[in-house]
Structures are given as C-alpha cells and as structure tokens.
Amino acid sequence: MKFLALMKDSLREAVDAKVFYVTVALSFLLVLVVGSVSFRPLTAEEEIVERPQLPWLFQFQIMPKIKSKTLEPPDAFSVRIADFENANKQDPEPWKGNYRFNVILTFDSPEKAEAFARRPKLSAGSMLEVVDKLLYWLKDTDADLVPPDKDHPLEVRYPITSQGTMIERASDWRYEPTILFAIPLPFAHSSVNGAVYWIEDTLVNGFGSWIGILIGVILTAFFVPNMLRKGTVDMLVVKPIHRVTLLIYKYVGGLTFVFLNAIVAVGGVWLMLGLRTGIWAPGFLVSILGITFYFAILYAVSVLASVMTRSPIVAIMVTIFVWVMLWGTGAAYTVFTALRKMPEAKAQADGLPQWLYTTVDTLHFVLPRTTDLDVLLTQTISKGLLTEAEYKSHGIDKLPDIPWTESLSVSGIFIAVMLGLACWWFAVKDY
C-alpha cells in the first residue's frame, strides 16, 4: 500500500501542476482548429490551370534541367499552363478524365525562344519528368515540343496528354482545404488523405510533439530537485521505502505528464479527423507511445542531472544539450549514409577524414536512436493512408528500413544506464 500511495503522489504532482492544465487546454485548442478544417473538391482545370503556385513550381523544376541557376538572360522566361481540355467528358468524376493541356514557356524576344527550342535546352522528355513530379496523380502522360511559329513567336509549347489518373478513391482526389470554417488555403491543394497525413505527421507528430516535449523537459525538471530540497528529502529518506523505488516513481510521474498530454492531443486529433473525414488511421495512435518514449530518453538525462546537482536549471540545460547532440548525431549519420550510397557524391565523401565517419558511426551505435524513432513513426502513420504516388511524392519510399527492435533496444539500454546512475547516486548520497 505504501508503494501505491507513493505512486499516487508522483502522479498527483504531475497532474496538479497548473501548467499541465494549460498544456491540456492548448491540446484541446489544437483539436478544435483541426475540427474547423473542411475540404472542397477541385475540378481538374482548377488544379492544373488555375493553381496559382504551379507555374512557379514548374519554373523551379525546369531551371536545373537547363543547367541555369538564374532567370537572367538568355534563360529568362515565364511559365503558364493553358488550352486545357478533358477528352473524357462523359464521366463526371474528375479523376477519371483524359486531360490535354499546354505548358508554355514565354520569352521576351523571338530570337531567344527560337534559340531555346533549337538547342534544345529542355526536351519533351525532360518536361515530362517535371510534369510527372508535380502532377504525379496523372497517368500514362506524354509530352511533345512545339517550337515558336508565326502565331506564337515568343512561345515554346509542350503539349501534355494523360490517360486517366492513378486515383481510385474520392478521398485521394485533389481538394482545397478551408480552415476556421471560412479561410481557404489555395496554396495547400492535396488529397484528403494527404492532408490528414500532413496534420498527423507534420503538425502533431512533428512540430506539436517537439513543442510538447520541450515544455515537458522544462516543467518536469523541477520534480526531482523539489523532492531533494532540505526538509522534504529529510522526511522522505526516513520512510521505510528504498530510495531507488522513490526515484523511479518520480521518473514515472514525469512520464505521466507527457503521456497524458499526448493522449489528449493525439487522441483528440485522431477522433476529430475521423469524424470530419471518415478516415480512421490507427497508425497515428502509435504516436502516443512514440512521443512518450522519446521524452523518456530525455527525462532519464534530466533525472540524472537533477540528482547530481539538485538544480532544475542545470537539468534543463543538460537535457537540451543532449537533445541537440542526439539530433545532430542522427542528422550526420543520415547524411554520411547517403553519401556512401550516392556514386555522384563519392568524391566528396572520400575527401572527408575517416575519423569523422568513425566518430559518427560510434555515436550512432551507442546513443539513443531518436532520428530512427521519427522515421519509424512517419512510416507507421503513412501506411494505409497515402497512395503509392503520394508515398513517393513525400519521399517516404527513400527512408531507410529500420527495425523497431534495434532502435527501441539501444534507446532502452540508454534509459536504463541513465536511471541506474541516478539511482546509484541517490542511494549513496548522504542527505
């Protein structure tokens, strides 16, 4: 019963903090904002011709293909999309259409247009690659190149045709989201599934979780130092309970703070999205455990620093330093792994000192795999939610295959070592 009472006290300390209710309120606010999002289905013409940022995206993709880094003469041109037509007008569903349109490059003089088409700096095949990347949902696309003529002396035209689309479900078609029930977002066209994925993986599991974990690091850093204050620690150490048990319960109390907030934020957003869109993606709920485990790694460091210094400020600074170090190690390992696999980057990779690779590999081997955890959660959330084309468009197919067991085991051992050191220090320290 004493153990249960102590556990209850640790949980009460986590929940009774006023800031806990503030964070829960912010989580509810996030849920309400997500609930205000609605989706208007677009026509194919709106998505291809009237989408305001699409010409800019075409221009951005074309520049590397013509090996130019600027839009200065002689490569200066503007892009527009025109002459849209649906050859399958009898089918009202826009994702079943056969579309034709022109991607038009306009120059400021006939000579520049003719020179561009004559070289040619951008073949029909290269333009097709751009179309397939930006309009990845089109199927069986084809492209041609039409040089300037007397009717269009300033224009190089690329007629594009498609035979249907890769979309089979209405929720995979293109929609324009509206937020707060009234504010359209014309720059954020996507499928409903794609929007749900962005909300779950980027907004909640990305930005939201980092903010939540940072708040958790700051607030829970006071739990152990408060316990070790003169007077409080004197009362605790004379009780018939082992110091190790006491510290472990304090650790569990800190985890509870983040776990409960994760349940409210992730569970609330999942429920709201399901009610609003009819999409119930169970993989998103794994984020509750993922966020809590991520925080458990950092909180183990915080507990060790708190026991050794009794200072919440030092605990916060040490924990954030370790957090940045873990992120940097994961980012460096990802970059170095990519360099090893890219033939075009081999020369650059060979120019780096070998000790740098050895250091990064060693740190990655012994430190918690926080970057791996991010990748695993992204892959889990996307499963069953995105189409194959969207999966590739988001670059998820290029993410490494990481075993859950390896990542969790290495991180779990790190937590055990940090807590073991903290418990040993607390047990032998004379208070």
Give, for all 431 residues of the chain, the pLDDT tens digit.
554 555 556 556 655 667 778 888 889 999 999 999 999 998 888 888 888 888 888 888 888 777 655 445 445 788 999 999 988 777 678 888 899 999 998 888 888 877 777 766 678 888 899 999 899 889 899 999 888 888 888 888 999 999 988 888 888 888 999 998 889 888 888 889 889 999 999 999 999 899 999 988 998 888 888 777 765 555 555 555 677 888 888 898 889 888 989 999 999 999 999 999 999 989 999 999 999 999 999 999 999 999 999 899 999 999 999 999 999 988 888 777 767 666 555 545 556 677 777 787 788 888 898 888 998 999 999 887 887 778 877 788 778 788 888 889 999 999 999 999 999 998 887 66
Paired tokens of 171: 């929720």
Cβ-based neighbours of 235, under 8 Å, separated by 6 or more: none
CB-based contact 396:217 (threshold 8 Å): no
Q: Do residues 53 and 22 share a domain?
A: no
Q: What is the dihedral of CA 220, 222, 226, 228, to 10 degrees?
A: 90
Compute φ and ψ for 183, nearest 5 degrees: -100, 110
Within-domain flag for 352:
yes
Q: Could you tell me if 140 and 393 are in contact, meaning their C-beta atoms sit under 8 angstroms apart?
A: no
Both tokens assigned to 320? 């954030």
Q: What is the Cα–Cα distance from 179 to 360, expressed in whole angstroms?
A: 43
Q: Confirm whether 177 is domain-assigned.
A: no
The H helix count followed by the E strand count for the chain is 19, 7
Same domain, 284 and 312: yes
The answer to whether position 183 is within a domain reads no
Do 316 and 401 fall into the same domain?
A: yes
What is the rounded CA–CA span in Å between residue 159 and residue 8? Answer: 70
Pair (246, 371) in one structural domain: yes
Q: Are residues 23 and 48 in the same domain?
A: no
Residue 208 lies in a domain: yes
Residue that terminates a domain, selected from 171, 199, 226: 171
CB 298 within 8 A of CB 318: no
Q: Angle 268-277/18-35 helices, nearest 10 degrees?
A: 10
Residues 161 and 220 in one domain: no
CB atoms within 10 A of CB 248: 18
Rounded to two decimals, what is the model's pTM?
Answer: 0.80
Residue with tokens 């915080």: 302
For residue 58, the surrounding DSSP H or E stretch is helix 54-65
Q: Please report which residue ranges of 310-431 form alpha helices under DSSP H.
A: 312-341, 346-350, 354-366, 370-382, 388-393, 404-428
Structural domain ending residue among the three candidates 113, 144, 171: 171
* Cβ neighbourhood burial of 181 (10 Å; 0-12, 13-18, 19+): exposed
Same domain, yes or no: 229 and 365:
yes
Residues 259 and 373 in one domain: yes
Together in a domain, 232 and 378: yes
Rounded to 10°, the helix 404-428/370-382 angle is: 140
- State which amino acid sits at residue 326: L
Q: Six-digit token pair at 371? A: 């970057």
Task: Say whether both 76 and 62 belong to one domain.
Answer: yes
Domain-ending residue, one of 137, 171, 205: 171
- Closest by CA position to 166, among listed 147, 140, 142, 145: 140
Which structural domain range is residue 361 located in? 2-39+189-428
Question: How far apart are alpha carbons 107 and 110 in whole angstroms?
Answer: 7
- Phi (first) and psi of residue 67, to 5 degrees: 55, 45
User: Do 50 and 144 sit in the same domain of this protein?
Assistant: yes
> Residue length, the chain?
431
Number of domains in the chain: 2
Q: Is residue 178 part of a domain?
A: no
Residue 166 forms part of a structural domain: yes
Q: Is residue 179 part of a domain?
A: no
DSSP 146: B
Pair (239, 160) in one structural domain: no
Q: Is residue 57 part of a domain?
A: yes
